[in-house]
Amino acid sequence: MVLSQTACTAAVLATGAADPFYSAVDSAAERRVQEQYRQQYPGVDITDDYALARAMFEEAKRDNPAQMGHLTMPSRSVWEANNAQLTGAAPAASAARARTPSAAAAAPAVSSSRIAQDQATLKRAGTPWATVSKSWPYDSLNLSSVTPYVCGIKKMQFSVNGGATTTQSFSSCSTGAAKADPPYWTFDQNSIETVSVTMTFADGSRQTRNFTRDQILQP
């Protein structure tokens, strides 16, 4: 089995065996690498090694489902332990806390009432889950309308025209400014005919909604 370069990189990152910033040979090169990742992964905190590794891993899985579909990203604690063993360094989270001592205070735990409220809002028929717009020369599928209620989401998946299932990722709701990652998906213009969205809520329950193009097309 042959993996693409991106898939190989993501597979290594998933083990915690490599860090995308460690290849920078000097501070100027590191800044260039950081800017590249900042543009490539909007909404991801690129100073968080695990968050960046996860974003790269999920992108590679989307691009290479046949080769990487069986792989899973380990939890933060496992990833950091692997990274510490392989590099002899302190876990990434510890390093991040040393750089930004107030980071933990800036991300308080999410209350159960907030989670329940977000779930209830998402389950309402009037809450939009997806929109389609013409953005020449593409059709754009946007799932970010659910972002204000992301604390109620465990997983969000979609398929277009009955095709392969794709997962929409979001940044953490605990920051108070969650974002969809990527912010939208592009397809050939006028190619989106139907969209099926399956939402797995924070409590584990699931709901699927099926839309036709006319139902969610934005002028």
What's the pLDDT score for residue 49? 78
If phi > 0 it is left, if psi is from -120 to 50 it is alpha, else beta; for residue 198 that is beta
If phi > 0 it is left, if psi is from -120 to 50 it is alpha, else beta; for residue 207 that is beta
Domain 112-216: CATH architecture, name and number where available: Sandwich (2.60)
What's the pLDDT score for residue 7? 47
What's the pLDDT score for residue 107? 42
CA–CA distance, 183 with 195 (Å, rounded to integer): 17
What's the pLDDT score for residue 1? 43
* Contact yes or no for 122/153 (Cβ under 8 A): yes
Tens place of pLDDT for every residue, the chain, 219 residues?
Answer: 444 444 444 544 454 444 444 444 456 666 776 777 777 777 777 677 777 777 777 777 677 776 666 677 677 766 666 655 444 544 444 334 334 333 333 445 788 898 999 999 999 999 999 999 998 889 999 999 999 999 999 999 999 999 999 999 999 888 778 899 999 999 999 999 999 999 999 999 999 999 999 999 998
Angstrom CA distances, 19 to 10, 89, 116, 150, 190, stand at: 10, 12, 36, 28, 40
What's the pLDDT score for residue 29? 62
CA–CA distance, 10 with 63 (Å, rounded to integer): 11
The token pair at 198 is 């399956």
User: Which residues belong to CATH 2.60.40 in the chain?
Assistant: 112-216
What's the pLDDT score for residue 9? 45
Q: Which amino acid would we find at residue 144?
A: S
What's the pLDDT score for residue 60? 74
Rounding to the nearest 10 degrees, give the CA dihedral for residues 11, 17, 21, 24. Answer: -110
What's the pLDDT score for residue 4? 46
Beta-carbon count within 10 A of 130 CB? 23
